[in-house]
Structure 1
Amino acid sequence: MGAGRATIVGKTYFGCANARNKGTCNNRLSILQADLEGRVLSGLKDHLLHPDLIAEFARSYQEEYNRLAATIGQDHAKAGRDLAQVTKQIDAIVDAISNGMLQQSMKAKLDALEAQKATLEAKLAETDSNPPVLLHPDLAVMYRSKVADLTDALNEPSTRTESGEIIRRGKEGF
């Protein structure tokens, strides 16, 4: 047996949980809570701001953006093709009716096609009205700024205690 998770071992100190609670670890060292939290924040900041990580973030974001943009483009093209086909079917029914071929089933089919046409037109209008979002050329700088803002927010005296508790809970708190 060995080292365990860090736990509160004093009013403002953290240490090994196994040493404190089970006696199965010889590590009796402790660290001030403020020092531990400062080191964690510093480590997060250093790791999150590593140039390779920023480059990977920008690459991954661009890849996902391009995938979504392609999907939207394909969906728009398909809706356009479907609209052309529905319009052609409507025209054929209208031509048949104008030539004296009126059946009760034609009315129901025409109503269904008109509803489908309206849905497709709305979908096309929606995608046309939303121009693609362009990535900011200084994405890496913005990312750096957001990480710095995160560090500042976690160090803000009014929220520091709550932020620390959320971080300490980790995944168990979600």
Structure 2
Amino acid sequence: MLSGLLQCSSCGAGMVKHDNSSGRPRIRCSRVAESGCCDNKRRYYLDRIEAGVLDSLRAELDQPELIAEFVRTYHDERQRLAGANVRARAKDETRLGNIRAQMTRIVDMLAEGGAAFADMRGKMEALEQERREVEARLATADEQKVVVALHPQAVRRFREALDALSVALSNDRPLANQAFRELVAKVIVHPAPAGVEPKIEIIGN
């Protein structure tokens, strides 16, 4: 039921069925089985891994309010960042206007003979360098000004998958349900000493 989803945290290889102990299948890092080149050499009971996955998912399903809180926090942070970007852009635009005005004054002074070229050259070069830097920041700001919002459709699909999985958990084969596959991308098994249950990390959509 977890075929293709199990992954060893030590080397990133897949975890595969290794043997049976008292009728219970055990899994092991495939790299250990093939070449022995991994520190995660222990064999783990598959039913305990499955139980750990289900327990973690049930814990998530018992806290649906966290989804709403995540959406709210996400949008608040995006708005804060957008506001900071607006203020930074306004500051750069003001500075760019000042730089151009200073450069114009220097050109006028040189044209009127009121300043020596050698004296103004260093100032002009420094202003030109700063002008390019400010314009580059403004160009980058234009590329990033679109606020990436968490689309309501994505939130709705996630909630539907959670609801479907909640129902599936009471079935005979809950992990084979399509809702499970939609939410869970991989299950990472962290090494643990003998007699200690391994940490199960679920990477989901």
Q: TM-score, normalised to structure 2's length?
A: 0.55
Q: TM-score, normalised to structure 1's length?
A: 0.64
Identity score, percent: 28
> Is contact 2:71–2:150 with CA below 8 Å preserved after alignment?
no
Deviations 1:78-101 (A, max 9, x none): 111111111111111111111112
Cα 1:99–1:170 change in 2 (3 A) is farther
Over aligned residue pairs, what C-alpha RMSD do you find?
3.1
Q: Which residue of 2 aligns with 1:47?
A: 59
Q: Which residue of 2 aligns with 1:141?
A: 156
Alpha-carbon distance between aligned partners in 2 of 1:166 and 1:76, rounded to the nearest angstrom: 49
Unaligned runs of 5+ in 2: 1-20, 26-43, 163-178, 193-197
Alpha-carbon distance between aligned partners in 1 of 2:121 and 2:88, rounded to the nearest angstrom: 29
The structure where strand makes up a greater share of residues is 2
Cα 1:115–1:134 change in 2 (3 A) is same
Equivalent pairs, count:
136
Q: Which residue of 1 aligns with 2:133?
A: 119
Q: 1:64 aligns with which of 63, 74, 77?
A: 77
- Which structure is higher in RCO with an 8 Å CA cutoff and minimum separation 6? 2
Are positions 1:77 and 2:90 aligned together? yes
Q: 1:164 aligns with which of 189, 199, 203?
A: 189
Alpha-carbon distance between aligned partners in 1 of 2:89 and 2:128, rounded to the nearest angstrom: 19
Deviations 1:113-152 (A, max 9, x none): 0111111112112211333323312242354559944536
Tell me the secondary structure at the aligned position of residue 151 of structure 2.
Answer: coil
Q: Which residue of 1 aligns with 2:186?
A: 153
Q: Which residue of 2 aligns with 1:6?
A: none
The structure where helix makes up a greater share of residues is 1
Alpha-carbon distance between aligned partners in 1 of 2:134 and 2:67, rounded to the nearest angstrom: 40
Alpha-carbon distance between aligned partners in 2 of 1:75 and 1:129, rounded to the nearest angstrom: 14
The one-letter code of the counterpart of 1:57 is F
The one-letter code of the counterpart of 2:155 is A
